[in-house]
Amino acid sequence: MKRFSHLLKAAFLLLSLLPNMLSAQDALTIVAIGDVMPGTIYPTFTDLADEETAKHFFDEVKPYFEGGADVVLGHGPHVTRGMEIYNGKFIAYSMGNFATYSQIKIAGKLGIAPIFRIRMNAKTGDFIEARMISTYQVNPNKGPLIDKEDRALKTIKSLSTTDFYDNSPAISNNGSITK
């Protein structure tokens, strides 16, 4: 069940090295991003084969924050999934397919994806607000394009509410995301 343990170890190693690589005088903000591609294609987490599988998925993602990540951005399994604010931190469980090449299927829900602009507290890394823009692809070698139908936004808004209840961020129809 530890499919991604090697990725977590690599992320923890990188995050543990960052403080030693920077001096106290550095006037720059470091944002640690956890990059994860867990799971299989299911419309919602509540549709996962069983509760144990869903729990395992969440158990794989949340330790990134213990390793120092400020935000976790999932990019698999080829479909968009919900978002959660976990202990003040932003998680996008899957941003789907964004800019793919010839072998990736992009029909229907496989071709939509968000672009996020995330604002965080510079000292704590806690989520403040974000903006989401929906995109889509029509050809694996061309795209992404702005989606005027906002399919990624509508999908993520619905899945966030379904899967994360109280931890779901507020997502407006114009793409504004708040706690």
pLDDT in tens, 80-123: 888 999 899 998 888 887 777 667 778 888 889 999 999 998 88
State the average pLDDT for the chain. 74
Q: Please report the pLDDT score of residue 66 as a whole number.
A: 79
Determine contact, residues 67/34, Cβ cutoff 8 Å.
yes
Residue 23, pLDDT > 70, answer: no
Instruction: Write out the residue range of the structural domain in which residue 79 sits.
Output: 5-178
145-168 average pLDDT score: 91
Q: Please report the pLDDT score of residue 41 as a whole number.
A: 52
| SS3 letters across 93-105 | CCECCCCCCCCCC
Determine contact, residues 75/64, Cβ cutoff 8 Å.
no
Distances (CA, A) of 17 to 12, 24, 89: 9, 14, 21
pLDDT band with cut points at 50, 70 and 90 for residue 26: very low
Higher pLDDT, 84 or 17: 84
pLDDT band with cut points at 50, 70 and 90 for residue 140: low
- Tokens describing residue 125: 């890394």
Long-range contacts of 91-97 (CB under 8 A, 24+ apart): 91/61, 91/62, 92/116, 92/156, 93/39, 93/45, 93/61, 94/39, 96/152, 97/137
Percent of the chain at pLDDT > 90 equals 25
CA separation for the pair 105, 124 (Å, rounded):
39
Percent of the chain at pLDDT > 70 equals 63
Higher pLDDT, 59 or 179: 179
Question: How many domains, the chain?
Answer: 1
Q: Please report the pLDDT score of residue 177 as a whole number.
A: 97
Annotate 73-98 with DSSP letters as a single string.
EE--SSSB--EEEETTEEEES-B--S
